[in-house]
Structure 1
């Protein structure tokens, strides 16, 4: 079995009950940490600038920018919320990957949740947190591989899109083929 198939199987098979209790607890801490950084970052010049940019360049009503609640497209909300999450550089970090996973995962999950949730289809907290765990696990592993492969520094930008695609793919329930394409597109566009 190749690495891609193993990754797709891991993402597809994981559910809340399979996650160790200590990891479940840590996922809640990571969520709260990333939310705190994201909310705090919206009241900065960077947060305000990206909110204005998203409203101008990504019009729509599918998703909300955190704090202000202003509606934009999902892409606009992910962009504004992602920059806000990293604006103060207080977001979580993982030393072995030399990056900040939360700012690349949580905004994508919030966007995906808003895109798919409806009165008929609610997303459970367990499903959201399971998707968050997928994002952190895939992000950490890809980040470790990047640092073992390249001599130069590769920050979370080099693996953040991949972790976001994995997390969103899990939350959206993408098929293996669609998830494979999403991960491939994220990898292709990674710096």
Structure 2
């Protein structure tokens, strides 16, 4: 019998010669545009800064660009550093079915390998589509929640293996090695969940999963083997769901896009609070209490009113509500270190309470909804049940994604640099990969680049 991993390998190998549909190509381009915005705005965050230093020390010199820095590294160093920048601000795309973030892992790796093999624009886009198809399929088929790094490596192997033309036998071994060596191994054993998900620069193991996956492909190409039955363990995976319909689901067209620099669980409460404040002319200093009715996934965040450091802000509903109450939506696009440990924000965050709502819980994880109640100046205001912006059911337009890039990078890029990035993505849309590849290396972004 052919196992699930062998079926994945056969699908990827055959997909090399399958033309991209117009819908698939457009979806891949949208994902690339969104990923460029995430990486260009995240370049100054603490996590990527640390990764760039570590990559230089561990991986040394090479000819692959560390995006927007002018630096270069080895293939692994570039994959690691660019994935870290893309994941840093939590505005990379996500997928409701897999409950995670495929783009920050798959797209930087695909660009690096495309450069290594001299791939065309359409080869690159095809690899990204296939990477999403495989990665999301594995993530969605798990019988219990797993952080993105546990399944995104399958998507990286698929994208890289397609670009390199890796034979099916070696590709199967690469999937097996990547699955066995993925980060965050605790939940490979289906053990009890951690009581709270801390917000750290590890970011669900997303950047590191790409390093282990690219390494797995190189190991397999040189004779290393892995556990080929890994995805056929019934207690861990609904294996049939991984391969049934593979290639026809077009998962990349079903991603959601983020317009706030915080965990997806935070988005709906922020939107509901801002709507209430605008609709009832509520001033931040008049707020007496905020109650957030939500679902179990949102309540599993740390949700500290006084988050410890920059990245943990992204995983605190109370702090993000205090932040936008005082400084508006723009404080979360992009989030900056200027908002770390601000006592006036903590004061409002301590007025926030979270509670599980059975009706909202019944609609999770298919939907991430909330209801917010604000008590202010002796009055009580209750929002409608609210969802986040950018869902696959109401996807943003290309123009909205372009505007997201401009807003998100306003502190790291000048208007001229933004124009160049958008022009380079448009060139990719027309079949020319060169301008974007050049922009990744030649543009130097970061604090001090954009006008004050």
Partner of 2:94: 93
Q: CA deviation at 1:125?
A: 0.5
Partner of 1:106: 107
| Structure 1 outlier segments of 4+, above 6 Å | none
Q: Could you say which structure has the higher strand fraction?
A: 2
Q: CA deviation at 1:46?
A: 1.7
1:33-44 aligned at under 5 Å gives the runs 33-44=34-45
Partner of 1:115: 116
CA shift digits 1:7-48 (9 cap, x unpaired)? 222211225754332222111101111122122211222222
CA shift digits 1:61-114 (9 cap, x unpaired)? 131110013111111111111111100000000012110100110121122123
SS at structure 1 position matched to 2:97:
helix
Partner of 1:141: 137
Q: Name which of 171, 176, 181 aligns with 1:189.
A: 181
Please tell me whether Structure 1 or Structure 2 has the larger radius of gyration of its CA atoms: 2
> Separation in 2 of the partners of 1:9 and 1:136?
16
1:10-89 aligned at under 5 Å gives the runs 10-15=11-16, 18-89=19-90
Contact 2:92 2:103 in 1 (8 A): yes
Partner of 2:167: 175
CA shift digits 1:132-188 (9 cap, x unpaired)? 001100011000112xx22xx212111111110111000111111221121111111
Q: Could you say which structure has the higher helix fraction?
A: 1
User: What value does the CA root-mean-square deviation take over the aligned residues?
Assistant: 1.6
Q: Structure 1 2/53 Cα, relative in aligned 2: closer, same or farther at 3 Å?
A: closer
> Separation in 1 of the partners of 2:158 and 2:32?
16
Structure 1 spans left out of the alignment, 5+ residues: 118-122
How many pairs does the alignment contain? Answer: 182
Q: CA deviation at 1:56?
A: 1.6
> Separation in 2 of the partners of 1:36 and 1:42?
10
Structure 2 spans left out of the alignment, 5+ residues: 186-452
Partner of 2:122: 126
